[in-house]
A and B are shown apart, each in its own frame.
Chain A
Amino acid sequence: MALIEYRDALNQAFAEEIERDSNVVLMGEEVAQYDGAYKVTKGLWKQFGDKRVVDTPISEAAFIGMGIGASMLGLRPVIELMFWSFCTVAYDQIVNNAAQIRYMSGGLINCPIVIRGPANGGTNVGATHSHTPENWLANIPGLKVVSAATPYDAKGLMKTAIRDNDPVMFMENTLLYGEKGEVPEEEYLIPLGKADIKKEGKDVTLIAHGRAALTALKAAELLAAEHDIDAEVIDLRSIRPLDEETILASVRKTHRAVLVDENKPFCGVSAQIAAMLQEKVFDDLDAPVLRVTSLDAPAIYSPKVEPKQLPRPQDVIAKVLSIC
């Protein structure tokens, strides 16, 4: 296994899928000649040329809509949003076209696209650039929503997302692009809808996705070292479809759950999972389901303050200690 960066894991996924399927085309702002705003697509334009790696003007509605239209004819566009925050200017195309075209055509038309890019706060770029729209999108039947925490997951999930025949919204994280992790040399795929138990435990279940899964892992380490609490950490990886079984089985075992979510609390991903837990494993619970989310205000810029707005290990630990 090679130790590579998250961005390179994604890069490998693109290169392999471009080679495998002539219908795969990468597009977005700066993805080609500039090598990507975060160098996620580095070298791909040089390797594959203008046809497969396409720079677009700053016209999110048009190039996402174009990708959707092209997918109806069988292409598999993989479209980068420089920030997922910018989906707002293309929201109509995503919500009304990508998500509804199959349904409204009675199943006659497919939309096999991937829209991808970073969706995170924590980089002092202010509220307009720090949205976590996974809940906005997971709220729309017809869309799939994926979030990768590690290089291994990023590559395996991306390859699956590209091969999937439904529109997949793929959430990455600028704070993770430079993180390294083990990635196998040989090809592998990670199914959508399968959570990963990142750490086994018996006392409490921490449920998270994206970078929050790493925060939960850190908290679990400290809980074990300092409080003798054995936390299980579940990384959802895929939000829609959701691996309900793994979540429920874990909570049935530990009888306690704390959700860790960089999404906002109101109608956030964690709210959905909390609702599910009270409905399906109420009798197994020994304590209320608690949540650690981003603080419920627009993302503050101030570099010394913003970190407090996102879930930190100590916030998770405090919640866990209140119920364990």
Chain B
Amino acid sequence: METAVKAKDYASAPINSKLSKEQKLDLLRGMLRIRRFEQEALKQYNSAKMGGFLHLYIGQESVAMGACSLMGDNDHVITAYRCHGHALAVGMAMNECMAELFGKATGCSKGKGGSMHFFAPDKNFWGGHGIVGGQTPLGLGLAYGLKYKGLKGAALCFLGDGAVNQGCFYESLNMASLFELPVVYIIENNKYSMGTSLERSSVVKDCLAQRGEAFLVDWAQAGGEDIYEVRATVQTAIERAHNSSKPTILELDTYRYYGHSVADANHKGGYRPNDEIETYKKDHDPIQLFKRRLIGEGLLTEEEFEKLSEDAKTEAKASVQYAEDSPLPEDGAIFEDVYFEVDRQTEAGRTGKHFFHD
């Protein structure tokens, strides 16, 4: 197998060339952890251990891992419902994530959010949002908050190639540019929104980020399969956010191997051709590409790769055990975490009736 020929080698970009061997292995480890976690989640989903939707990120790992690996103390992340990759990339533990999928009290959202709604504000991760495009004004707000507080940071707000067609995204772009807010919109262009190809959803077929021009927002299009390229591209936008408090739109080319959600049985040979999926898996897999890269750089052997992969698998399996062994939320938990004041039993929380079921 040959890796795609690159016009530019992003390994030499300063943000990548300065990485230590251990840091590079961490990037690989991070991508492997996402993949093994989700493969395990898929297995458990198919054995009816969880309900609802399961939107797998497999195939896109380099995007979340590359972007989140750049985060400093004041950089924040928010995304849509395909959120497991970003969650693990910012440092959430597999245990709390798997337990959330199982609807357990030990889940990151205490079993109240589910697959689409992971959160870890302590890691600057603000979800996990189920309404397509609905997170784009929130990302704007994170950037607004940073600027208001005088912090040098960026809000990385991920969205899909389908989400770009939501109106609130354009309202947000205008305001980001008008108010000079440090938000980076990262379009993960996996070419499909559910069963609708980009060709069928966008009048301009070859570029979505360009839509930012209407708002004088700087934009760039880049490949998403090479984690070095992702890092180099996102770093430029983060620097723009940090140094000149300006927004950016990035469009990263990527691909999901599975259906829109696990319930989407129609994807293979349905709305997308089988050989398209196979070509991406064979020639554009972000983990395989980076593995070969690191072997080429003399930092990794096949055996070491297998070990990393096995470790990730073992961790994922352990997280299933953890989720299995965890308790369900108590029935009373249904009414917890609705109102801050009620949870804390402050005077406000003790005044008046907040719930009306009886």
A residues contacting B by CB (< 8 A) are 25, 51, 56-57, 59, 61-75, 92-93, 96-97, 101-110, 112, 141-142, 144, 160, 164-166, 191-194, 238, 240-244, 272, 276
Closest 3 CB pairs of A and B: A69-B141, A193-B352, A65-B137
Q: What DSSP secondary structure best describes chain B's contact surface?
A: mixed
Looking at the assembled complex, report how far the CB atom of A69 sits from the nearest CB atom of chain B, in whole angstroms.
2
Given A66-B141, A75-B148, A106-B109, A244 and B338 touching (CB < 8 A)? no
Contact B168 A194 (CB under 8 A): no
Say which size band chain B's interface belongs to: 35 or more
Docked Cα-Cα span, A191 to B354, in Å, equals 13
B178 within 8 A of A: yes
B223 within 8 A of A: no
Contact A192 B112 (CB under 8 A): no
Docked Cα-Cα span, A70 to B167, in Å, equals 20
Contact B149 A73 (CB under 8 A): yes
Docked Cα-Cα span, A192 to B171, in Å, equals 33
Set of chain B residues within 8 Å of A69, measured between Cβ atoms: 78, 126, 137-145, 155
Q: Nearest CB to that of A236 among chain B residues? A: B352
B1 within 8 A of A: no
Contact A104 B117 (CB under 8 A): yes
Set of chain B residues within 8 Å of A144, measured between Cβ atoms: 339
Contact B175 A194 (CB under 8 A): no
Can you name 8 A-B pairs with beta carbons within 8 Å?
Answer: A56-B175, A65-B141, A69-B143, A96-B129, A106-B337, A166-B341, A192-B352, A238-B352
B340 within 8 A of A: yes
Given A70-B142, A70-B148, A73-B149, A65 and B351 touching (CB < 8 A)? no
List the count of A-B residue pairs having beta carbons below 8 Å apart.
Answer: 185
B residues contacting A by CB (< 8 A) are 76, 78, 107-113, 117, 119-122, 126-131, 134, 136-146, 148-149, 155, 167-168, 171-172, 174-175, 178, 336-341, 343, 347-348, 351-356
Instruction: From the candidates A51, A57, A72, A102, name the one contacting B141 in the complex (CB within 8 A).
Output: A72
Contact B113 A244 (CB under 8 A): no
Looking at the assembled complex, report how far the CB atom of A76 sits from the nearest CB atom of chain B, in whole angstroms.
11
Docked Cα-Cα span, A308 to B174, in Å, equals 43
Docked Cα-Cα span, A109 to B128, in Å, equals 13
In this complex, the member of B112, B144, B155 whose beta carbon has the largest number of chain A beta carbons within 10 angstroms is B144
Contact A109 B126 (CB under 8 A): yes
Docked Cα-Cα span, A318 to B34, in Å, equals 68
Docked Cα-Cα span, A59 to B141, in Å, equals 13
Contact B121 A59 (CB under 8 A): no
Set of chain B residues within 8 Å of A74, measured between Cβ atoms: 145, 149
Given A65-B140, A102-B340, A142-B338, A192 and B126 touching (CB < 8 A)? no
Docked Cα-Cα span, A99 to B130, in Å, equals 14
